[in-house]
Chains A and B, each alone.
Chain A
Amino acid sequence: ELKVEQNPLFLSMQEGKNYTIYCNYSTTSDRLYWYRQDPGKSLESLFVLLSNGAVKQEGRLMASLDTKARLSTLHITAAVHDLSATYFCAARDYQLIWGAGTKLIIKP
């Protein structure tokens, strides 16, 4: 049974700092998704990682996938307040299996 774990679950950081969110999954899944959710809103797709070693970047966010380690990371560079949100990773079995989310608060 595929399980997905994220850490940390909560992160408070200052603007301008760098940090990484980790997503571990328990069984083979060579497709990994990252989504963003603002309070009371739905989920916005950020990245789809398709293969081992995949790296994708959008603005201050960069996601990577290591299928051998069953690990994906979401790296935030020089954080800004607008990136405050909850970030979810999800791996695919027959449907998406989600992590619990990382609530990110970026203080001005």
Chain B
Amino acid sequence: KQEVTQIPAALSVPEGENLVLNCSFTDSAIYNLQWFRQDPGKGLTSLLLIQSSQREQTSGRLNASLDKSSGRSTLYIAASQPGDSATYLCAVKVLIRRQLTFGSGTQLTVLP
């Protein structure tokens, strides 16, 4: 059974810092990995999708990497801003089943 772990559970940084969020998964047989953002009381917003054959994806100040063999992904946020404060979730889609398995998320607070 696929398990997804996100460390740390919470993170607080001053504005302007670069930061890294970690995601690990137990079964490397995945279709893809997706990073989401969730604001309090809201749905999930897709940030980046990395296919199993890719190593990284970039969107603006965000860069996500994937090392499928070691079961790890990182989300790098450059020059963090207070508006980046949210919970960040990673999820993997496994080969056998068609649904996403989620980690518990990292709650990020960027202090002005």
A, B: real partners: no
Question: Which residues of A pack against B, CB within 8 Å?
Answer: none
Question: Which residues of B pack against A, CB within 8 Å?
Answer: none
